[in-house]
Amino acid sequence: MNVSGTDTPVTILHRLALGVEPFDTLTGRRIGSAELIVEREQDYGRRRADPYEPVPPGRPLEPSLGGRFRLRYGPQVVSPARIRLWDRRRRFAPRRFEIPLWTLKEITAIERTGTDLPVFSRVFRPWLMPGVAAPIPPAATAARGRIVRAGLPVPWARIVASEPGQPDVHTSADERGEFLLVVAGPRQIAVGRLDLDLVVLADPAIEPVAQAAHRFDSLPLEKVARSSNPAADAELDNPLLRGVRPPATFVAGQTVHRIRLAVGRPASEINTLEFDPQ
């Protein structure tokens, strides 16, 4: 956009490239900037950081009100963008996405027609599962566990807990293979106990994390389609965004693990589950 009334046109880079609205799978609410880090990944193939870049690669996105984060167009904002969401206190399981952006050229072309690209066409709504340090709701039925393979931790595994006639419960492990499974929502539960069958899904090629500083190097990259103009409901809320659909490289283990939980309180023991892909 150029500002008239000056000797030289001034370019103002304030258009929204991407709005990120992370949601908590336990509460169904947006996650604020005090709880979460949402950042663009560092791309070492690009030029040095531009001083006029709104959000250089490898820096957190700008927080906005109500649990929203924004990425504005700038010299180094290219499509697709890689966005990483994580929490230093391990209250949420990290996720990593690749998202095609509407380019600034496309945006200005739409504006020249006298219309605007709707904000929802640039909104991205990922859902984050609880991390091992997530606060457990009062009277919740929950279990803690660790995913291993030949005695070594399996990073970033997904766990699906099922019970006949009831909705599945999904959760995610961290780089140490540790997870928190919380059974929430309406369901019919036998008095005093709950028996669940757990299936572990993971990428067999991902090796245990050796150094904490590089723990996100193996975090699976989940590719998201760009929203349409206007955005469809299914583009803003779908199984991939909710974490129900695992990354493409994940496979299920052969063993179905049966655990029994006490209804209304977290289990005290740590369940160690073996990941045994074919």
Instruction: For residue 23, give the CATH number of its domain.
Output: 2.60.40
Q: Are residues 121 and 154 in the same domain?
A: no
Q: Does residue 132 have a pLDDT over 70?
A: yes
User: Which of residues 75, 103, 128 is at a domain's end?
Assistant: 128
Q: Does residue 266 have a pLDDT over 70?
A: yes
User: Which of residues 82, 99, 128 is at a domain's end?
Assistant: 128
Q: Are residues 18 and 118 in the same domain?
A: yes
pLDDT above 90 as % of the chain: 69
Assess contact for 65 and 44: CB atoms under 8 A. no
Dihedral in degrees, nearest 10, Cα atoms 205, 208, 210, 215: 80
In 10 A of CB 131, how many CB atoms? 21
Q: Are residues 265 and 151 in the same domain?
A: yes
What is the average per-residue pLDDT within 126-132?
A: 98
Q: Are residues 256 and 157 in the same domain?
A: yes
153, containing H or E segment:
strand 152-153
SS3 category, 241:
helix
- What gap in Å lies between CA 158 and CA 129, rounded to an integer? 10
pTM of the predicted model as reported, rounded to 2 decimal places: 0.89
Residue type, 109: A
Q: Are residues 153 and 63 in the same domain?
A: no
Q: Are residues 14 and 107 in the same domain?
A: yes
What does the chain come to in residues?
Answer: 278
Q: Are residues 264 and 145 in the same domain?
A: yes
pLDDT in tens, 77-124: 889 999 999 999 999 999 999 999 999 999 999 999 999 999 999 999
- Domain assignment present for 221: no
Domain with 154, as residue range(s), is 141-205+249-274
Which residue bears the tokens 């709707």? 118
The domain tally of the chain equals: 2
- Domain assignment present for 213: no
pLDDT band for position 76 (cuts 50, 70, 90): confident
- Domain assignment present for 216: no
Kindly tell me the burial class for residue 86, based on how many C-beta atoms sit within 10 Å of its own C-beta (0-12, 13-18, 19 or more): buried
Task: Say what the pLDDT of residue 8 is.
Answer: 61
Q: Are residues 75 and 179 in the same domain?
A: no
Task: Say what the pLDDT of residue 7 is.
Answer: 58
- Domain assignment present for 134: no
- Domain assignment present for 65: yes
pLDDT in tens, 194-214: 999 999 999 999 999 988 778
pLDDT in tens, 13-67: 478 999 999 999 999 999 988 899 999 987 644 445 566 666 766 788 999 888 9
- Domain assignment present for 80: yes
Q: Are residues 7 and 80 in the same domain?
A: yes
Task: Say what the pLDDT of residue 106 is.
Answer: 94
Q: Are residues 10 and 113 in the same domain?
A: yes
User: Which of residues 101, 128, 155 is at a domain's end?
Assistant: 128
- Domain assignment present for 10: yes
- Domain assignment present for 236: no
170, containing H or E segment:
strand 169-172
